Amino acid sequence: MIYNILTTQTGIYGSFLKTGLIARGIDKKIIKINIFDLHEFAFDRHKSVDDTPYGGGPGMILRVDVMDKAITKLKEKRKKKKVILLTPQGKKFDQKMAKRLAKEKELILIAGRFEGYDERIRDLVDEEISVGDFVLTSGDLPTMILIDATSRQLPKFIEKSQSTQIESFENNLLEYPQFTRPEIYKEKSVPKILLSGNHEEIAKWRQNEAQSKTLKRRPDLA
């Protein structure tokens, strides 16, 4: 999978690319992340990518002509790259969407900044995605969230593939409770069933606990 990020804040991705599973995925060539500075596609010597909104109002708006130039340049080699706009107005991101996007070969992710986008930019993209009903200073954190969640769905990205099958939101269930040593801590014990060695009964217990937790904490998923 190749991720192409269009951003005005290239420096924010430094540690993200060098840490944990993302770094390992890059090293193993399972994923590739290209970061493009939107300013490099500007038309003037000041590298301006935004301007004041028509009709007045606070903040600065990202320009449609600069964005169009950037997207066109990124699509030169392969025009079928899916273009995604990260915006609070988009469809809410979830596990099903991560699985669907993981089937793509290459994505262009637009991480905006400032007050917002020129409305005509929406005509240049294939999909608008939101990571939640709140507003951030830029689309860079949502972009990283999308990359992290989507990459986890790729073959060999996680060595123990079974772990992705039991995570929260798989089959519309939250993950069952898990425990490790010590067996007893501050008078709280690990459930005896997990110490029994009876894998069939353990599987039943985990399924029941997952269903119970989902009904209690996220009834909207049940």
Find the CATH number of the domain harbouring 195.
1.10.1270.20
pLDDT one-digit tens code per residue, 25-82: 999 999 999 999 999 999 999 999 999 999 998 889 999 999 999 999 999 977 889 9
70 lies in a domain? yes
If asked whether residues 107 and 66 sit together in one domain, one would say: yes
Q: What's the pTM?
A: 0.89
Q: What is the pLDDT of residue 126?
A: 98
The answer to whether position 157 is within a domain reads no
pLDDT-flagged residues of the chain (< 70): 160-170
Q: How many domains are there within the chain?
A: 2
Strands (E), the chain: 2-7, 32-37, 50-51, 61-62, 82-92, 106-111, 116-117, 127-130, 184-185, 188-189
Range of the structural domain that residue 99 is part of: 2-151
Final residue before a domain boundary, out of 101, 123, 151: 151
| Residue labelled with tokens 């500007």 | 42
Residue 156 lies in a domain: no
